[in-house]
Amino acid sequence: MPTPDLPKGAKRISVMAWIEDAFGGIVFVRQVNGARRWALPGGKVKTGESLLNALRREVREEIGVQIATAIPLDILDRPRAKNLTILYRVQLKPGELRPRPGEIEKIVIRRRLPTGSSEAAAYFWRRVQQRLDLFARVV
């Protein structure tokens, strides 16, 4: 789907958080509006905003907890959608996960990809699982 209001060749930049609990569960959120698909916490980077500041803002807004550390993990380039999404492996500061009213309907922690997940969440899920499988073969 083409993205309006972008100069020719430009892409919107998004950031997403891969947040894993001690048992291998991953944090997913479902938005109140739009397609209401399950997604990893994150969103669009505002003009003039650094990638890490955008990630901090989006995670805090969506699940109510601050980031302790964030390390780039993967990239999804979607030329037709004019979007580039950067996935970060994130560790959170202590706190309670709370969905933002009016934006996030629900937060879940799952060890499997939820049915009805976004394209980006499914892509990153497959990529991380492939890496874990390769690591298991080496060990």
- Cβ atoms of 15 and 90 within 8 Å: the answer is no
Query: Three-state SS for 34?
Result: coil
In this prediction, residue 119 carries a pLDDT of 95
Mean pLDDT for back-to-back runs of 10 residues, the chain (139 residues)? 64 97 95 92 97 98 97 95 96 96 95 96 93 54
Instruction: For residue 34, give every residue at least 6 positions away whose Cβ sits within 8 Å of its Cβ, in sequence order, or none.
Output: none
Distance CA(21)–CA(76), nearest Å, equals: 23
AA letter at 53? N
In this prediction, residue 137 carries a pLDDT of 53
Distance CA(70)–CA(35), nearest Å, equals: 27
Distance CA(130)–CA(94), nearest Å, equals: 29
Distance CA(43)–CA(48), nearest Å, equals: 15
User: 61: closest CA among 24, 116, 15, 110?
Assistant: 15
In this prediction, residue 30 carries a pLDDT of 97
Instruction: For residue 123, give every residue at least 6 positions away whose Cβ sits within 8 Å of its Cβ, in sequence order, or none.
Output: 76
Mind listing the domains of the chain with CATH numbers?
12-138 (3.90.79.10)
In this prediction, residue 20 carries a pLDDT of 95
3's tokens: 């993205």
